[in-house]
Structure 1
Amino acid sequence: MIAQLNTQPQGPGPQAIANVLEQGHLLKNWLLETLNAPIFKLGTESITLWWIVQACFLLLLVGVFAKATKQFLKKILLLRLGFSEGNREVIGTLTSLGVAVLGFIIVLQGMGLELASFAVIMGGLGIGIGFGLQELTRNLVSGLTIFGENKLKVGDLIEFNDHIGYIKEISIRSTIIRTFKGSDLVVPNTDLTSNLVINWNYENCSGRLEVPVSVAYGSDLVLVTEVLLESAAMEKNIVSEPAPKAVFLGFGENSLNFELWVWTERIDQRFLIFSSLNHIIQYNCRRRGINMPFPQRDLWLRNPESISLAVSNQENKVPAPGEKLDNSPTLTQLLKKNFCFQKLNDLEIRNVIEMGKRWHLSAGEILVKQNQYHSYFCVVLTGAINAIYENKKISNRIFTFRQGEFFGELPLMLEVPYPTTMIAAEESTLFLIGKDCFHRLLSNHPELSDRVAEELGKRQDTLQGYEQKLKEMGLLAEADLRNPVDWIRQRINKIFDVSQRV
């Protein structure tokens, strides 16, 4: 037993511990000597590695403190005192620069540097740096000018050097402009202060739009003027004061040239307003029999027989070799098969088309599962969609929505999940309208709420699927199901604030 105990490994002896301690002491001394070894002399101060580490740490703290001072002044103190955004930026920036410079001087003085002995050297160096960084200095001064004058602000819509966009950010050196294409344009502040800049938001977002319109020779000028003014009144973003004006510019080479002058309070949406006005003008001119011009030229034909054959083939819808004619119905035709949109004219149908999007489903593909949310009003353009109710025991088809029918209005209005799984019975195409666009659609056409309510009143199975959920939410009483059409109409008017307009 004693022999076994003697053969067990022993712990480190006193000599080994002493060696380790001695090595640690030597390492500590070497590290201290390395950190405190002079690298070079700056004035009367010997610069060491430890001195550099301390100086960098203290200067970093000064920078953080200066930045925090700017944020405190800009976002808390000066904001509560009622200073404008531009003045807050100027005061905060200048104060932070002053704090940083003062802090750097105090740190360097505290670290033993005599800055007075470097005044001449720094002065000469400053002149050289000034010449090298004069463009940066100009941008800094221009940035302070922009902040101080407050004529350009974040969010303003400006036009500059054939670029148009919103000011996203204004810094001391440059300004970032978010263009309509989605790109960010970085512009030096000097360019903004020394060039022509159009600010559409300087006092408000109002402005005049000039829409060029050309009509064929022989058109009734009075009728054209009437149509243009009527078109301006049909665009909701056009204000009535100042009143729109139709200006006859003169006689062109192939046309009579007009300009429609309109004023809007949403100049930031001028491209969309231009598009809408052009659609309205074209629709009204076609309805009134006003022809748009086209260039007219005299042509000498060398082979009139072949051209006559080509024209005849086109009129008879004869496809060229390898070409197939597309006789599929247009989206306008498909939407008009839905009774909600049957009474809308082409101009109103265009607005509906701009609100939604097509969605293609293969046979058996699921649009939305039971108890899931789906924020779209769905119109079946082609194919068929089955509504399947599922539980642990059964899977039952309770309804099939076919071409021209719609679904999804109750989940959309009540913000509740679907009580059924919506699955494509065959290859299908849907037209989806989001909640905000559906709201706009009902607001613009209040008569649609009656049509939706009447159609839903025919779907007792659909209402029963929502009955328990609606009762839990306190949205449905026993008496409501006796007259579901009135209840649905009231819910639509209340949720979407749709009022009947005569």
Structure 2
Amino acid sequence: MTPALAWNGLIRLFNAPLLPLGSQTITLGSLLGVGLLLLVVTLAARLLRFLLAKRLLLWLGLPEGRREAIGTLLAIGLAAFGYVAVAQGMGLDFGALAVLFGALGVGLGFGLQDLTRNLSSGLTLLMEGKLKVGDLIEFEGTQGFIREISFRSTVIRTFQGSEIVLPNALITNTLVHNLSYLSSQGRVDLAVRVMHGTDPLLVTEALLAVALEEPRVLDDPAPKVVLHQIGREGLEFELWVWTAEIQNQLLLRSAMNYAIHRALKRRGIHLLGEKQVLQLLPEAGPGAPLAFDLDEQLAAIPCFANMDARRLRELVGSGARRRLTAGQMLVEKGDPGRALHLVLEGRISAIHETERISHRLFSFGPGEFFGELPLLLQVPYPTAMWVQEDAVLFEIPSGNVRLLLENRPDFAEIVLQALARRGDVLRSYESCLRERGLLREGDLGNPLQWLRGRLRRVLEPRVGGSFQSTQN
């Protein structure tokens, strides 16, 4: 067979009519041409979706969910338009097929209800952006990170390493906790139950001490201890702590439970159901229980002597005692302020260090406090704070200091007046304050008035400038 005959035979094969369709006849060649056109339309739709979601809309700064939704919708629109154009090019009569498609549509509508709901729910999730890829969510008791959101389903990766595929309609119709919607901060609640007869203030102090020693616990919002219930069997407390990495809450909870158990044991506090053991020899050293009740120690300090019992209890519940040994470095130069430190016993010195010398500037003894300036002025420590003698401090984290200053003008005035009398402390911050534009010439001529003005500016974002100092 010659090549010409073979070519003519191949042409006749592709042009041979297979079946009539509308005004045209379907041939093998037309089927191959339509298939090629449909493939081109499909590839063009996918390319459009990729360019929109990964390039153009990314450059415009749209969130991932909306980029995917817009890209997918436009790709579907392009594909539908292309498929219709190809069908019309084949000469299909859509009017004649309308009845057939209508009958099929009714049947498919009943059979594909769930698929339709999932598609519409997926579109809602992608467009709203309330749930995004990477969010930590809790769904029906299961926690995990969203790994993928498609039009039909959402994939969640659990902490155990498995993937859960959830229909989108189930997510939109069920309560979902988004633990990282605005930020990754979150609160961890720890329940502690102790025996009747235990001093609640002692338990409160022990729990707050554990929270203040844990670096993963935030100072603002500050830790909080709540006496949840006085039950038939004992006292039920809850320790509320905030962390910047809520996804690691299980590790934080474990570490704090160990520390709570150790802190309660050192103070002779028995958990509910714990077997009591008589201890004849008292403990000694840094972990030993403190000898005096905290409210009694605070009441003995002149600046707190006029506080009634209720306000003293509030002050006790805002912080915890900390025992330090001589020679320990409490704060390095340049560290940010994390707490207000009230000296109950011993002495803390402010040290100015250079490459050649280390010079002691001033010190704080029993009844004096420090750390208020870094908190009020939001500046770092200009000096190092060194434990000159074995000391016991009462530490109030920054979040609770702010609350006390907002809600207790008398406490704010105590802090300001005590600070105004310490000219040596103010002078140590002078150069730092001038560099930041917080101090002008003549401001320290009336330090109390200047400190009151700075305190109002610090509290204005939280209380709208409504703070009023108590004038003496």
SS at match of 1:238: coil
SS at match of 2:263: helix
User: 1:46, CA displacement in angstroms?
Assistant: 2.2
Q: Percent identity?
A: 46
Question: 1:184 and 1:446, CA in 2 relative to 1: closer, same or farther beyond 3 A?
Answer: farther
Which digits, 9 at most, give the CA deviation of each residue in 1:315-365, with x for residues without a partner?
A: xxxxxxxxxxxxxxxxxxxxxxxxxxxx999xxxxxxxxxxxxxxxxxxxx
| Partner residue, 1:156 | 135
User: 1:276, CA displacement in angstroms?
Assistant: 1.2
1:92 and 2:59 matched: no
Aligned residue among 199, 223, 226 for 1:220: 199
User: 1:446, CA displacement in angstroms?
Assistant: 11
User: 1:97, CA displacement in angstroms?
Assistant: 0.8
1:273 and 2:262 matched: no
Question: 1:344 and 1:256, CA in 2 relative to 1: closer, same or farther beyond 3 A?
Answer: closer
Which digits, 9 at most, give the CA deviation of each residue in 1:396-452, with x for residues without a partner?
A: xxxxxxxxxxxxxxxxxxxxxxxxxxxxxxxxxxxxxxxxxxxxxxxxx999xxxxx
1:81 and 2:60 matched: yes
1:243 and 2:222 matched: yes
Aligned residue among 172, 194, 215 for 1:193: 172
Question: Using the alignment, how far apart are the partners of 2:133 and 2:198 within structure 1?
Answer: 47
| Partner residue, 1:173 | 152
Letter in 2 for 1:147: L
Question: Using the alignment, how far apart are the partners of 1:183 and 1:160 within structure 2?
Answer: 15
1:336-355 alignment, distance < 5 Å: none
Letter in 2 for 1:205: S
Question: Using the alignment, how far apart are the partners of 2:138 and 2:227 within structure 1?
Answer: 28
Q: Is the 8 A contact 2:329 2:385 kept in 1?
A: yes
Aligned residue among 6, 14, 18 for 1:39: 18
Q: Is the 8 A contact 1:254 1:295 kept in 2?
A: no
Letter in 2 for 1:124: A
User: 1:199, CA displacement in angstroms?
Assistant: 0.6
User: 1:196, CA displacement in angstroms?
Assistant: 0.6
Which digits, 9 at most, give the CA deviation of each residue in 1:378-404, with x for residues without a partner?
A: xxxxxxxxxxxxxxxxxxxxxxxxxxx
| Partner residue, 2:111 | 132
Report the structure number with the largest CA radius of gyration: 1
User: 1:233, CA displacement in angstroms?
Assistant: 0.7
Runs of 5+ unmatched residues, structure 2: 276-284, 288-327, 331-383, 387-472
Q: Is the 8 A contact 2:21 2:91 kept in 1?
A: no
Question: Using the alignment, how far apart are the partners of 1:501 and 1:131 within structure 2?
Answer: 75
Mean Cα deviation higher: 234-243 or 171-180: 234-243
| Partner residue, 1:289 | 268
Which digits, 9 at most, give the CA deviation of each residue in 1:442-465, with x for residues without a partner?
A: xxx999xxxxxxxxxxxxxxxxxx
| Partner residue, 1:467 | none
User: 1:228, CA displacement in angstroms?
Assistant: 0.4
Which digits, 9 at most, give the CA deviation of each residue in 1:178-210, with x for residues without a partner?
A: 111111111111111111111111111222211
SS at match of 1:94: helix
Question: Using the alignment, how far apart are the partners of 2:63 and 2:18 within structure 1?
Answer: 50
Question: Using the alignment, how far apart are the partners of 1:263 and 1:81 within structure 2?
Answer: 35
Letter in 2 for 1:107: V
Question: Using the alignment, how far apart are the partners of 1:128 and 1:51 within structure 2?
Answer: 31
SS at match of 2:192: strand
Alignment size in residue pairs: 284
1:89-488 alignment, distance < 5 Å: 89-252=68-231, 254-294=233-273
